[in-house]
Amino acid sequence: MTMKRTGFINFCNWAGLATLPLAVALSVPLCAMAQDEKQAPPPPPEDLPGHVNYLAQQLYGVMLEDATPITDQIQKLVLTQLEQWMMDRSPTDVEVRRDVDMAFSELHYPLSGQAAAFARPWKEQMVIGAGYTLGWTNIDRTNVLAIFSSRQGHGHLVTVTSFVPRYDLHYAFPQEPPGDAFRFFVYGFRLGQSQPRLSATFYSFDGKNLKSLWELHDLYDGKIYFEKDRVTIRFLNEQEYIEEAAHGRRPPRHQTVYTITPTGLDVQSEKDIPF
């Protein structure tokens, strides 16, 4: 009787040991599944500012060249909301700027969304520019400019473009009589290692398409001035600045004055001016 009982106990022990690897094997995938479920990201918020912030958070550590899949999603969200919002209104530039700012209202440094808007009458319609600069570092920034047309209180999206990467957005308008095209300047600045840089484009809008009539890029310590039918550009030559600064001297600034013409800009004068 004792031998039978002992054999039974040994059999139970063997059976328990035999089933242990099976239990462990079964528990591993179950633990992995539970871990995957635990690490699954939450769905994006339903409100626009929350959804934009949800996507922008994914830009941390992403190079500008690799950020397009995320920035394109943000652009689609913002412009879709703008299209719906303008469908039954003809907003002012202040209202457009507020609406774009609202989309980025949940971003926190270093994330930033800076709106830039205009609304100008042309050919019995209001041409509306709704733009923004989206940044996630001081250098990595992208921008979008959407052109809307509004007639009799109803607006619609016409075209979308992007200005020079890493630059913010500013606008200027030549003082000229209304013509067959609506013309305006977009210019901006980006941070450099020692001095900011200037880029600018002179656009023509025919009601359907944007066309660049003139542009300049990456002027070292560049500054731009608009007056009536003229544009003045002042800048430094970077290599001259480095060489002169090494000897404790200041180089001259270079100045170019342009005249606004029907086809774009023509150089009126060029000269050097004191630093």
For residue 271, tell me if it sits in a domain: no
For residue 60, tell me if it sits in a domain: yes
Average pLDDT over residues 246-258: 96
Residue 98 pLDDT grade (very low, low, confident, very high; cuts 50, 70, 90): very high
CA dist 9 → 5, 13, 17, 19, 35 (Å): 6, 6, 12, 15, 38
For residue 200, tell me if it sits in a domain: no
Is the pLDDT at 74 greater than 70? The verdict is yes
For residue 194, tell me if it sits in a domain: no
For residue 250, tell me if it sits in a domain: no
For residue 24, tell me if it sits in a domain: no
Q: Model-level pTM? A: 0.84
Task: Work out how many domains the chain is built from and give that number.
Answer: 1
For residue 119, tell me if it sits in a domain: yes
Is the pLDDT at 259 greater than 90? The verdict is yes
Q: Which of 7-21, 175-189, 243-257 has the lowest average pLDDT?
A: 7-21
Listed residue (52, 87, 86, 57) closest to 72, CA to CA: 52
Is the pLDDT at 14 greater than 50? The verdict is no
| Structural domain span for residue 77 | 44-162
Residue 42 pLDDT grade (very low, low, confident, very high; cuts 50, 70, 90): confident
What's the whole-number average pLDDT of the chain?
89
CB atoms within 10 A of CB 245: 12
pLDDT for position 38: 57
Average pLDDT over residues 77-90: 96
Is the pLDDT at 40 greater than 50? The verdict is yes
Residues contacting 224, CB < 8 A, separation 6+: 187, 198, 200, 231, 232, 233
Average pLDDT over residues 38-47: 83
Is the pLDDT at 118 greater than 50? The verdict is yes
For residue 129, tell me if it sits in a domain: yes
| Helices assigned H by DSSP within 90-233 | 93-103
Q: What is the pLDDT of residues 106-117, one digit of tens each?
A: 999 999 999 999
